[in-house]
Each structure stands twice: as C-alpha cells, then as structure tokens.
Chain A
Amino acid sequence: MARLTMPPAAIRRRTFLSLAPAVAAGAAGFPRALFASGAPVTVGVILPLSGAFADQGSHYEVGMRLFQEMNGTRAAGREVRLVIRDDQGPGSGDLARRLTQELILRERANIILGYSFTPNAMSAAGLLTEAKVPGIIVNAATSVLTQRSDYFTRISVTMSQVAHSLGTWAAGNGIKTVYTIVSDYAPGLDAEKWFVKGFTDGGGTILRSDRTPLAAMEYVPFLQRAIEAKPDAVFAFNPGGDVSIAFIKQAGERLKGTGIKLLVTGDVVDDNLLPAMGDAIQDVISAWHYQIDVDNAANRRFLAAFRAKFGANAVPSYRVVQGYDGMALIYQTLDKTGGRTEGDVFMAALKGARLDSPRGPVLIDPATREIVENIYIRRSAFANGVGVNTTFATIEAVRDPAK
C-alpha cells in the first residue's frame, strides 16, 4: 500500500493545507461552531455520465438533486454542495481513483458519494482509507467492497442479498429444478453463487449453469439449451440496460408456452426499463429492494415529488432512489454530528443509522457498515401498454449473507 511520506520542505505547508480534512480528523480539536457557522460541506459525486452507461449515472444524479429540492441544500446549518464528475463507466477504474483523489485534494470533498461499478469502487478503496474520507457506494453490488475500506458504506444492495433471497424463495415455493444463465463477470458469478446456495440449501436442484459473454445481445442459443434441459425455472442475471432488454425480449419469445418460469434479479427488470421490454415481461419473477409499488409514506412523498418534476406517468428507476437515499444518509449523519465531517466522526455516526426510505426501513449494520433492508419478491405484468412490477412477498430486514 502507498503511504504518506514527508514531502520536501518547500511544499510541506501547502501539503498540510490540502490534507487539512484528513489531518483534522486526527486533531479533532476544532470548535463545533466553526462548522455550524457554515463552510459548505462538499460531496464529491462520481458517476458514469457519458458513454454506454450514461443512463445509469443520470438516474442517481436525479435522485440526489431531487432530495435537495425537497429538503433544501442545508444540513446541520451547513450548505451541502455537490461536485459531480464522470468516471465513464466500468472500463475506467484508474480514472475513478484519480477523480476520487482530485475531488478530495482539489475540491476539498468531505464525503464521496458514487461508484456505480465494482472495479471503480475497488480502485478507490485504498485512497479513502488513506485520506479518511467517507465513501458512500451508490450502486456497486459486489459484497466484499465494504470490507475493502473502513470508510465505505453502501446505500444500494448486495448481489448476494438479492440472489440468495430469490433462491431461498424459489426452493420454498414449488420450484424443484433450475437452469442458471448469468453474464460472465464478477456480479454475474456472485448472483449465480448465491442463488445456487439459497436454492440448494432449500432442497432445490441446479440442472446446469451457463455463463454468457458480457456484451452478448443474442441469448436464443442459451435459452434453447435451457429449454432442452426442461427445468421448472430459469434464473438469469445480466447487466441491465440494452443487454437486459434484449435478454427479456428473447426469453419472452422462447419461454412462452414451455411452462418454464423466469426468475431474475430486479435490476434486469428495472421499473424504468419495462416500457422498452413490452409484453415479454409478463409473469417474470424477480427479487429487488425497490419498485414503485412499495407502500409507505416516504415512497408516496418521493413519488409525488418525482412526478411533479418529470410528469404524472414518469417511472423512477431504483437508481433514483439510491441517489436520493445517499443524500438522505448524508443529511441525517450531518445532523447527528452537528455538521462535522471528519472521517472517523462521520463514520461513527453513520454506523447503526436508520433511514425511513422510499424502499422501506433501511439500517446500516454497525458492525459491517453494510446495508440491511427488505427484499421484495415481485411479479412483472404488462397490460394496456404499461408494465409494472408488483410485490407479492416481502422478506424483511435482509442482511448480506456473505458476511
């Protein structure tokens, strides 16, 4: 690991100033009033905003801005300022790392909120530890991430939480045999591993596990293999966006009439993608931590604000909620610390935090800094040109089974 070294004398002073946020964490002697009187809190935001994954990034940003529009831009008396950078998607881990460093050094970011993809968060973990800056993972779902830095927490979901819940549910609900089809990269393998574990622990049998090339748009060969194996259900994971649209459309065509159920993680049938999938989503069963039908006051308030801004029929992606909750977690923690942002103070206040989220109750596990939340088992349906995911079973307060 890289370490802080003593720089040459000529620049030592400037180094000290720019590392002030980090150093202050150690000194911890600043009077509280200094923070309350209002130097802004800078939240450095790192999202994919250009290229193939620009759509994802824009959703988180919408959520963050919506939260500020609803709750004002001040928390604990300090202005909360967003500085947004584009990490261009999963193919740029070293860029995500550099942006993290620059946001901390140049923009004096007190907190980092972002990372849609696991490698990008991985690459920044060491930096956050070194600078003692809290990093709130807005999406990346690989379980091990929160163990890579003591300053990481997650406001999304882990792939293991979702896949394990779905596997357990399937085994307990009359499905005896499953054929799995996942994209051949880390989150896909995570999904496969934890679905299989939940399902076989519940007494189910896996007939076969196929892995598909990451960028593949043609799934008929895999679906055909699955059909020939005659399972009760197919479990699938793929990386969302156009890939999942292509998958669901082809699965809808091929599995229709075979009696084989389709089980997926909820990102594959994101509420927001349903219009592009058409009637192929009929009867797809999925597990996820948010869909618009969640019935609570926080979700009603969130949806009302979202629709006031984007139109009466607008459907938010779960990613909007993750961005929104990321800001909610920051505001709530600032309230608790009285506006202090030093890494150790902030993280101490953040552990054990409870949020009244549009997705339902959320807890940040004080021991692991991992999110604990409801996982919903939903069925997709398409009628009159509109697709919806409807919850029919709720598994409450799911912890990450990988920890």
Chain B
Amino acid sequence: MTASAPIRLALPVLIAIAMACYLAFPDYLGLMASILIVAAFALSYDLLQGYAGIVSLGHAVFFGIGAYTVAVLGSHGISEPLVTLAAALVVSGAVAGLLARIVVVGNDFTRLLVTLGVDFLFHEAANKMRWLTGGADGLSSFEVGPIAGLFAFDFRGQTAFFYALGVLVLIYLAVWRITTSPFGLALRGIRDNARRMHAVGAPVARHMAVTYVLSGAIAGMAGALLAQTSNFASLDMLGFERSAEAVMMTAIGGTGSIPGVVLGATLFTWLKDALSALSPKYWHLGLGIVLMASVFVLPEGLAGLPARLGRLLRRPR
C-alpha cells in the first residue's frame, strides 16, 4: 500500500511532537492529555465517517458510556485503569451493536438525525437514571487506581499524559490496521459506491454494522480515558455538543486521513483553549472565523495541506 507510507512515517513524527511538547511546556500537561483524548475520540469517528461513510451526530453516546463505565466500576471497587478501559471498550461496543441496526438504514441526512435523536435520548436517560449516573451532578467520587498497580495519576498530569499518549498510539495503530485490511478496502468501496458493492455481493449492511461497533468501542475507550484522567464523568460527555465537535475536528483534519484527524483534533482543541484564555467572553467570534475560513483555505482539511502547498509553490515557475 503506497497510501500507508506517509501514515507509517506520520506516527513517529506525531509521537516526537508530543514528546517535544512535553519537554517544552511542562505546565501544559493537562491540556495535552485532553488533546490526546479528544484525538482518540476523533479517530474513532473518522473510522466511521471517513472510511465507512457513515455520518453521525451522536457519536458521543459511546464516549459517554465509556466514561460512565469507568465511573460506575470505580464506585464499586474496580479501579485498575487498564481493566476499566477494557470494560469501557466492551460496554460501548455492545451498545453500538444494539444501535447498529437502526443506524445503517437510510441516507446521510436521516442518519444524522437518527443519531442526533438517539444522542438526546441517551442524554435524557442518563439524567433520569440518577442512581447510576449521578444525574446532572455527574460522578466525581469514584476511585481511579494506579495503572497496573504502579503508576498513580498525579496532580501535574504526567501519568495522564503518558497513559493517554500510549492509548492513542494503540488506537492509531488499530484504526490503521482496520482501514488497510481487506475489510477496510471493502469499506472504502461502500463509502464511494454502495450500490456497486451490493452488486459485487459484498455484505454492505453487515460491514457497516461491524464498523459502527468497532468505532463505538474505540470511542468508549476515549471516554474512559477522560473519566480516568479527570476522575469525573458527567452528562455532557455523551451530549450533542461533543458529537458535533468530533465532526468538526474530523473535517478540519481531513476526513479519512488518520494523521490529519489527529492534527485536526489537536489544532481545534488548542485553538479553543488559547482563544478562550485570550478573551473568555468573545472567543466564539475567533473560533467562528477560523471555522468559516478553513472551508476556503483548507478545503480538504489539514491532510490536504501538503498537496495544496505543493501546487501553490509549483505554479509560479
């Protein structure tokens, strides 16, 4: 696969960037950990939209379920992060399996609205199930143990940073593996022309459902990371806003490009943080302008930037 060559290169580069940031900005570990987590979430969404072509405004359902899984287990004495991470993967994947049937029907627009409606239903259900989720107060007094019994989460966020980085790398490799497998190729075929894939006998609906489950499970891991590193789980983690942000980050990064989406998530989260520190009241204006401009400046997202720059540089000669 020639397409995977840049991806192969990109991973070490991304890790190097993360480590450089770690050394250069030791007081920003909290922000960096949340960027890594959000990037993992964006990757899970990219698997769904960028490769299988399934749009969704409700992907945070799985993110939130992952977070709640960690919080609920932690309140009942199961607090080893790797165990609860695996549990979050299983629970989110299972819920995705239940929902897959209603998501794979219909066209893009109906999918957007079905997933949106499902998101609001889960949000309302979580609000009602106070005994389990803590309702609008969220869950904050659950236990998060040291990773593998060795590395406790610290105030400065060092453990959180390396842990989130490690899990993100795993997710990166997993998504890469899935998308370059024969299954991934079939997915691209479905994205580009579902009717033709039907005609050649590919089980289109089953492929889409499987992708939905995989993507939901990965989103659950990202949610678990957030709950573990922030010792907190709340309604907003499965809210519509978080779903919409995943869509935005994927678009900024470049749909269907794994390193692009990681960069997109990074840029988006950093931008929000920097703008809101600069002007806590009016930063939405800056964010809005950047989003609008990106449509014209980066029509293919960050992933399309090298090619675009190349064209610009070649033109004068």
Contact = CB atoms under 8 A, between A and B. Distances in A.
B153 A2 contact: yes
A15 B156 CA distance: 8
Contacts of A2: 144, 152-155, 231
B143 interface: yes
B141 interface: yes
Given A86-B283, A98-B31, A106-B28, A148 B141 contact: yes
Contact of B154 (A3, A50, A86, A123): A3
Interface in A86-144: 86, 88, 90-94, 97-98, 101-102, 105-106, 118-119, 122-123, 125-127, 130-131, 142
A7 B158 contact: yes
Interface centre among B140, B144, B237, B241 (most CB of A within 10 A): B140
Interface centre among B143, B154, B157, B283 (most CB of A within 10 A): B154
A5 B159 contact: yes
Interface in B190-215: none
Contacts of A131: 155
Contacts of B26: 11, 14, 18
A123 B232 contact: yes
A90 B239 CA distance: 12
A214 B34 CA distance: 28
Nearest to B79: A1
A52 B283 CA distance: 14
Interface residues of A, number: 51
A122 B140 contact: yes
A222 interface: no
A54 B156 contact: no
B138 A98 contact: no
Contact of B281 (A22, A49, A119): A49
A132 B286 CA distance: 35
Interface string A8-31: 000100110011001000000000
B70 to A, nearest CB: 12
B128 A184 contact: yes
A91 B30 CA distance: 19
Contact of B280 (A86, A98, A130): A86
Contacts of B28: 102, 106
Nearest to A98: B30
B284 interface: yes
Interface centre among B136, B241, B284 (most CB of A within 10 A): B136
A208 B232 CA distance: 34
B163 to A, nearest CB: 12
Interface in A64-97: 84-86, 88, 90-94, 97
Interface in A168-223: 184-187, 189, 213-214
A7 B156 CA distance: 10
B151 interface: yes
Nearest to A85: B280
B108 interface: no
A130 B281 CA distance: 30
A94 B155 CA distance: 14
A18 B156 contact: yes
Nearest to A95: B34
Given A2-B155, A122-B232, A130-B155, A105 B27 contact: yes
B155 A91 contact: no
The interface residues of chain A, by DSSP majority, are classed as helix
A93 B236 contact: yes
B226 interface: yes
Nearest to A14: B26
Given A90-B136, A118-B136, A122-B137, A184 B143 contact: no
Nearest to A22: B155
A116 to B, nearest CB: 13
Nearest to A145: B137
A22 B157 CA distance: 16
Contacts, number: 135
A58 interface: yes
Interface in B236-261: 236-237, 239, 241
A102 B234 contact: no
What range describes how many residues of B lie at the interface?
35 or more
Given A18-B27, A123-B138, A58 B124 contact: no
A106 B232 contact: no
Contact of B152 (A5, A94, A102, A213): A5
A1 B140 contact: no
B124 A213 contact: yes
Interface string B120-140: 000010011010000111101
Contacts of A189: 130, 135
Contacts of A367: none
Contacts of A312: none
A4 interface: yes
Contact of A119 (B136, B141, B144): B136
Contact of A93 (B157, B232, B281, B282): B232
Contacts of B136: 90, 118-119, 185-187, 214
Interface in A352-390: none
Contacts of A186: 130, 135-137
B192 to A, nearest CB: 37
B230 A123 contact: yes
Nearest to B234: A93
A152 to B, nearest CB: 13
A289 B145 CA distance: 42
A3 B155 CA distance: 7
B219 interface: no
Given A51-B284, A91-B235, 6 more contacts: A3-B154, A7-B158, A15-B156, A119-B136, A123-B232, A189-B135
Interface of A: 1-5, 7, 11, 14-15, 18-19, 22, 47, 49-51, 54, 58, 84-86, 88, 90-94, 97-98, 101-102, 105-106, 118-119, 122-123, 125-127, 130-131, 142, 148, 184-187, 189, 213-214
17 contacts: A3-B146, A3-B152, A5-B152, A5-B159, A7-B154, A11-B26, A18-B156, A50-B280, A86-B276, A91-B239, A93-B138, A94-B226, A101-B155, A122-B140, A185-B136, A186-B130, A214-B136
Interface of B: 26-28, 30-31, 34, 124, 127-128, 130, 135-138, 140-141, 143-144, 146, 151-159, 226, 230-232, 234-237, 239, 241, 276-277, 280-284
8 nearest A-B residue pairs (beta carbon): A91-B236, A86-B280, A185-B136, A2-B153, A49-B280, A123-B232, A94-B230, A122-B140
